[in-house]
Amino acid sequence: MCTRINSLSTKTAKERLCQSEIAKKVAHLIRAVLSLEAQSSANTGMSQSRALAGYLAQLPLPDDYELQELRTLSRMYMQELMDSTQ
């Protein structure tokens, strides 16, 4: 889905805005699905932050939203590190 959103034709500013809004919604949904998946199953071997980073890298997100997602990823990764040392 991420590559499909990235490949949408964006010739006008309105189309670029629509593409970035779709990407923001998909990023939120991916984060929610990964969170629910992590809660319902045991450790699957791949970290949630690593999976989310892979998906987010494929999305055409606006700069400010990328920074917000990077902060979220950093917090998730730090929490995973803290949990793995305990």
More confident residue, 29 or 85: 29
Give Rg (Cα) of the chain. Answer: 15
Q: How far apart are CA 77 and CA 54, in angstroms?
A: 13
Residue 63: pLDDT band with limits 50, 70, 90: very high
Distance of CA 9 to the CA centre of its chain: 22
What is the model's pLDDT at position 80? Answer: 85
Tell me: pLDDT of 4 over 80: yes
- What are the φ and ψ backbone dihedral angles of 55, each rounded to 5 degrees? -70, -45
Structure tokens at 85: 């040392």
Domain ranges for the chain: 2-85
What is the model's pLDDT at position 79? Answer: 87
Encode pLDDT of 29-56 as tens digits: 999 998 888 777 655 566 888 889 999 9
What is the model's pLDDT at position 40? Answer: 76
pTM attached to this predicted model: 0.80
DSSP calls for 10-66:
--SHHHHHHHHHHHHHHHHHHHHHHHHHHHHS---SS-HHHHHHHHHHHS---HHHH
